[in-house]
Amino acid sequence: MQMDYTAEREKIVNKLAQKVKGEKFDHSLGVEQTALALARRYGADREKAGLAGLLHDYTKQMDNVAMAEKYGIPYLTEKTLHGHTAAALLKEKGYVTDEEVLGAIRWHTTGRAGMSLLEKIVFIADYVEPNRDFPGVELARELAFADIDKAVLLVLKTTIGHVVKNKGLIDTDSVEAYNDYRRLFPGEEI
């Protein structure tokens, strides 16, 4: 049975603390809080938002390449793997069985075209949670609560820009996501 966010939050947090240490643990709690706030703002399921927010980085500090092999997950770069491995592991353990929650965890790093509301909420919460501090975070935070689709576009544009600047490989799911959300706001100053 899937872990019950409201009834078992403490147990879930304890499990998380065994796998996710230091700043990443604080970050997970921050994503949980921001996901709950965004769920309230946009009328999404708070149980699902809280659970996905808490557990989205569950495998971040594990051997993701080994897990990708185990679960048969194809990948372009190691960096974007942990959402996919977290969804696979949490599903296998039976901690999370809800496909919407699994989707929000799976796509939190890259995004994808046609994201569900819950997927957008976790994607954005990951970027603007209270521990995040970088130039432009205030604007992203405001936009997150004003128009989540615009916030998604801003985050995709910024993260893809960083990857290009650092001469990395751009995940194709992110490219498809960018095109999908840019299409909604052609020519807009985002």
Binding positions for Fe ion, rule: CB under 5 A = 57, 126
To Fe ion, the closest distance from the beta carbon of 185 in angstroms equals 25
Pick 84 or 91: Cβ nearer Fe ion = 84
Pick 126 or 180: Cβ nearer Fe ion = 126
To Fe ion, the closest distance from the beta carbon of 112 in angstroms equals 15
Alpha-carbon distance 60 to 86, whole Å? 8
How buried is 189 (Cβ within 10 angstroms: 0-12 exposed, 13-18 middle, 19+ buried)?
exposed
Are 12 and 5 contacting, i.e. CB atoms less than 8 angstroms apart? Answer: yes
Alpha-carbon distance 106 to 184, whole Å? 23
**Among 84, 68, 76, 87, which Cα is nearest to 163's?**
76
**Among 86, 88, 84, 127, which Cα is nearest to 107's?**
84
Pick 34 or 143: Cβ nearer Fe ion = 34
To Fe ion, the closest distance from the beta carbon of 148 in angstroms equals 17
Q: What is the DSSP letter of 62?
A: S
Are 117 and 147 contacting, i.e. CB atoms less than 8 angstroms apart? Answer: no
Torsion of CA 168, 172, 151, 109, to 10 degrees: -70
Pick 131 or 183: Cβ nearer Fe ion = 131
To Fe ion, the closest distance from the beta carbon of 153 in angstroms equals 19
Pick 54 or 143: Cβ nearer Fe ion = 54
To Fe ion, the closest distance from the beta carbon of 176 in angstroms equals 19
To Fe ion, the closest distance from the beta carbon of 183 in angstroms equals 26
Pick 82 or 91: Cβ nearer Fe ion = 82
Alpha-carbon distance 181 to 144, whole Å? 14
